Every structure is written in C-alpha cells, then in structure tokens.
C-alpha cells in the first residue's frame, strides 16, 4: 500500500500504483515530459505534492480502456527488472 492505495513493487522498487481515479506509473523523465498533457495523462502528483519528475498518472473512464496504454504500462519493467523482458 502507498498512502492507502494499492501499490506494486518488485525487489522493493515501487513501479506502479492505483491512485484516485487512475494508475501511477514509473517512467523516465523524458517520457513524463512527452506524455503529460495527452488526453487522460497527467504528471503524478499524489496528495497535492509537487509533480513527480519520473511518474505519470493515466486516468481512463473505463478499466478496459487501459489496454490501449500497454506500451506505457510496460515501461516500468525496465525500471524494476530488465531481466523480466
């Protein structure tokens, strides 16, 4: 759990979490810069803190809409364990 929301770790590294109406995803800073502002994607800013440089939040109205974000959702695999590829 992270701030009362489900969180996902591999080898003690947080790489994704459920937060409010979306999913927080660990990415590199250049990916955050390129994706933030697209429809349904914002900089991750939990509990009103300043936006996190290497995180985005994807907000979709329906859970089945996350399938179109598969490429983005795979990015944290590089962060937590390159050997999982």
- Which structural domain range is residue 58 located in? 7-84
Total number of domains constituting the chain: 1
Residue 2 belongs to some domain of the structure: no
Residue 1 belongs to some domain of the structure: no
Residue 60 belongs to some domain of the structure: yes
- The predicted structure's pLDDT at residue 4: 86
- The predicted structure's pLDDT at residue 83: 62
- The predicted structure's pLDDT at residue 44: 96
Residue 3 has pLDDT above 80, yes or no: no
C-alpha closest to that of 69 among 28, 37, 25: 25
pTM: 0.86
- 76 CB-near residues (< 8 Å, 6+ apart): 15, 16, 25, 26, 27
């Amino acid at each position: 759990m992270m701030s009362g929301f489900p969180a996902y770790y591999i080898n003690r590294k947080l790489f994704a979490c459920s937060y409010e109406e979306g999913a927080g995803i660990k990415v590199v800073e250049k990916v955050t810069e390129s994706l933030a502002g697209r429809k349904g994607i914002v900089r991750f800013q939990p509990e009103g803190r300043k936006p996190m440089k290497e995180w985005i939040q994807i907000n979709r109205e329906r859970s089945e809409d996350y399938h179109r974000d598969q490429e983005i959702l795979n990015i944290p695999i590089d962060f937590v364990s390159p050997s999982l590829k």
